[in-house]
Structure 1
């Protein structure tokens, strides 16, 4: 009987939590792979769901990956004319995350005795990507633009894929949202970040997951 009683309490507790969880009342996700689900206009990057994953070679033995998050910025998007889209986002380099605290500290370490730092330094400038052209083919797009990293600006091309769009539930703030996945590649040496080459790869592969929201009202 005690076992049955305990199971009943657990079930009631789970039901009570679900009753207060807005996600439990959403029968299906609000997003669909259909741009007509949104009206278009000015969208702001969602810092909690936008990130840049970078991967490079480590000594020819294994790849190594880190993340930049808390991305901010804006997207102008018209679902009837996606090629007219433009994006301008800022990436806070100081918030870089890796699996090794020692490596993270090294990336953000100041140079010794006034020398140049090995990587970003103690007070790194934010990175910024500003698009200059968008070429769309069905659900995919080629986005060209200028990336400013470590104070150096270079042209970069990204391959993007539309992921989904829809109206957020009121419990989550409401408003329209849309998201994209993207890939690209840069060379560290192009941005004055060549420390460790060739033991640590020069080529950096980028995987971008971006979400944008249009405020309700």
Structure 2
């Protein structure tokens, strides 16, 4: 094997990563949840203020990464008084914990268009690992503008235990296990 020169090594280090940066389209993102209410019904909600970036390495998806920020005050269950209660000290306590974050720590490809994205979710001041079962839906040129914008799309699901994140009030009556559904588009930067 021929030794590499210092100049060649520095050139390799300066070579940009193979990952492309995509920014989540805030008008086409959904982070929703379901909560059992006393066994009588399921309450559905979502967070309306979600942003983030994806570093996508198509040749080596395992080298990709995801970072997402959610404003918990943007919770929307379709009922103003309930939303105010969910934002309060009994549950999300948005005054003390004004941001939720997810930062991927590993990505495992499980199929041609599927994978598991594991990362650290910080919610209600507690950070725990969470794994998202993820499906890559599409990559293509966005057809709704004259500008040629490359777009990718993903769907993901997981289930959280709210008590794991310190939100343990009424877990005997109101669901502790919370199914989460995520869908988003992201634009190449």
- Per the normalisation by structure 2, the TM-score is 0.84
Q: Is 1:51–1:70's contact at 8 Å kept on the other side of the alignment?
A: no
Aligned length: 170
The corresponding residue for 1:144 is 118
The structure having more radius of gyration, on CA atoms, is: 1
Deviations, residues 3-59 of structure 1 (Å, cap 9, x unaligned):
xxxxxxxxxxxxxxxxxxxxxxxxxxxxxxxxxxxx960111111111211012111
CA distance in 1, matches of 2:116, 2:39: 30
Q: Which has more helix, going by share of residues? A: 1
- The Cα RMSD (Å) is 1.7
Q: Is 2:105–2:120's contact at 8 Å kept on the other side of the alignment?
A: yes
Tell me how far 1:174 sits from its aligned partner.
3.2
1:158/1:172 Cα in 2 relative to 1: closer, same or farther (>3 Å)? Answer: farther
Question: 1:49 aligns to what SS in structure 2?
Answer: strand
**Is structure 2 residue 177 aligned with structure 1 residue 197?**
no
Deviations, residues 98-144 of structure 1 (Å, cap 9, x unaligned):
121111011123xxxxxxx1012352421000011111121100111
The corresponding residue for 1:92 is 71
Q: Which runs of 4+ in 1 moved over 3 A?
A: none
CA distance in 1, matches of 2:19, 2:27: 21
Tell me how far 1:171 sits from its aligned partner.
2.3
Name structure 2 gaps, 5 residues minimum. 1-17
CA distance in 2, matches of 1:185, 1:78: 27
Q: Which moves more between the two structures, 151-160 or 188-197?
A: 188-197
CA distance in 1, matches of 2:94, 2:151: 35
Deviations, residues 138-193 of structure 1 (Å, cap 9, x unaligned):
11001111100011100101100011111124726532110100000111111111
CA distance in 2, matches of 1:89, 1:96: 16
Name structure 1 gaps, 5 residues minimum. 1-38, 110-116
* Alignment map for 1:12-31 (pairs within 5 Å): none
Q: Which has more strand, going by share of residues? A: 2
- Per the normalisation by structure 1, the TM-score is 0.74
Q: Is 1:48–1:70's contact at 8 Å kept on the other side of the alignment?
A: no
1:201/1:177 Cα in 2 relative to 1: closer, same or farther (>3 Å)? Answer: same
The corresponding residue for 1:45 is 24
Question: 1:171 aligns to what SS in structure 2?
Answer: coil
Deviations, residues 62-98 of structure 1 (Å, cap 9, x unaligned):
2111001221111010222222210001011111101
